[in-house]
Amino acid sequence: MQVPSHVEYERATSVEHALSLLSRPETRVVAGGHSLIPMMKLRLAQPELLVDINGLAELAFIKLDGGQLRIGALARHADLLDSAVAGQHFPIFRDAERVVADPIVRLWGTVGGSLCQADPSEDLSAAFAAARATVVIKTPDGERTVPVREFHLGPYETVVGRGELLAEIRVPVRPGTGSAYEKVSRRVGDWSVAAAGVVLSVGDGVIREAGIGLTAVGAEHFVAAEAEDFLRGRAADEESFAAAGAIAAGHCDPVADQRGPEDFKRHLVAELTTRALRRAAGRAGSAG
């Protein structure tokens, strides 16, 4: 199938308008359309109504506000890649965006669309999990906030319900924090074989807090929780980083597929987690 089935189309003029349209059954938001439209062509998604949110400029922002980096759901991948304020406080997002797809996808694809697509190999989900971000979801009654680590219910499934809209992602900015993202893919612009993102808070050479996100390797909620627990309170050195990498590799759940066998993916998790920790530690103190 290469042609979507019949679908109605409405262009939302405000968040309230979008919410009222989304209350209808079998309705889907379309943002960049880079995931949804291919799925419709394959008839894996067959919405009856598309609600286009591309006119909602109020959801297209990236700014620092009250100690948080706030990213509107309609910010494009290219906006996040180019954002000076995001790059200053969270180089992990710039690292990740450099390796998300290709420039065409990055010009249209949105941060909110990426999270809501909930692809198990999605890069930003791991990066936001590492950063312990919170998402803001607009509802018919107002809004609710959800830790990003509770946002994904499983592959292609999130907590965004009928009649709701992901509006924003908020990331707490903490001094003395460094971050990095490391990915291996088969070729430039491809999805991850495996990737690891790290946000590390270091003081006096000791790790105060570690956030580690993994993608494409079956990590629950994109998080390497056991490795994070291991690192808290330990010296920010090579020995700790390598041990944490091994723990992350041991606790994820990769499956063999066309991108490689399970043991290769575990090897990548150990190596990429160690590298991301090393790079994040090197950056700690210069960001935030």
Ligand X SMILES: Cc1cc2nc3c(=O)[nH]c(=O)nc-3n(C[C@H](O)[C@H](O)[C@H](O)COP(=O)(O)OP(=O)(O)OC[C@H]3O[C@@H](n4cnc5c(N)ncnc54)[C@H](O)[C@@H]3O)c2cc1C
Would you tell me which residues interact with ligand X (CB under 6 A)?
A: 28-36, 73, 77, 100-101, 105, 109-110, 112-114, 116-117, 122-124, 160, 165-166, 191
Minimum distance between the CB of residue 193 and ligand X, rounded to whole angstroms? 11
DSSP assigned state of 4: P
Interatomic CA distance for residues 199 and 218, integer angstroms = 20
Residue closer to ligand X, measured from CB, 79 or 122: 122
Minimum distance between the CB of residue 109 and ligand X, rounded to whole angstroms? 3
- The burial of 9, by beta-carbon neighbours within 10 Å (0-12 exposed, 13-18 middle, 19 or more buried), is given as exposed
Residue closer to ligand X, measured from CB, 84 or 188: 188
Interatomic CA distance for residues 235 and 205, integer angstroms = 6
Residue closer to ligand X, measured from CB, 52 or 220: 52
Minimum distance between the CB of residue 201 and ligand X, rounded to whole angstroms? 25
- In the three-class reduction of DSSP (H, G, I as helix; E, B as strand; rest coil), residue 92 is classed as helix
Residue closer to ligand X, measured from CB, 178 or 213: 213
Residue closer to ligand X, measured from CB, 113 or 211: 113
Minimum distance between the CB of residue 3 and ligand X, rounded to whole angstroms? 17
Pairing of the two strands 142-147 and 206-215: unpaired
Minimum distance between the CB of residue 182 and ligand X, rounded to whole angstroms? 14
DSSP annotation string for 166-230? EEEEEEE--TTEEEEEEEEESSTTPPEEEEEEEEEEEETTEEEEEEEEEESS--GGGB-HHHHHH
Q: Which residue, among 43, 35, 49, has the nearest Cα to 3 in the 3D structure? A: 43
Residue closer to ligand X, measured from CB, 110 or 177: 110
Position closest to ligand X via CB: 113
Minimum distance between the CB of residue 203 and ligand X, rounded to whole angstroms? 32
Distances (CA, A) of 202 to 46, 234, 284, 288: 48, 10, 7, 12
Residue closer to ligand X, measured from CB, 34 or 89: 34
Phi, psi of 159 (to 5 degrees): -80, -5
Minimum distance between the CB of residue 173 and ligand X, rounded to whole angstroms? 23
Crossing angle, helix 91-98 and helix 123-130, to 10 degrees?
Answer: 170
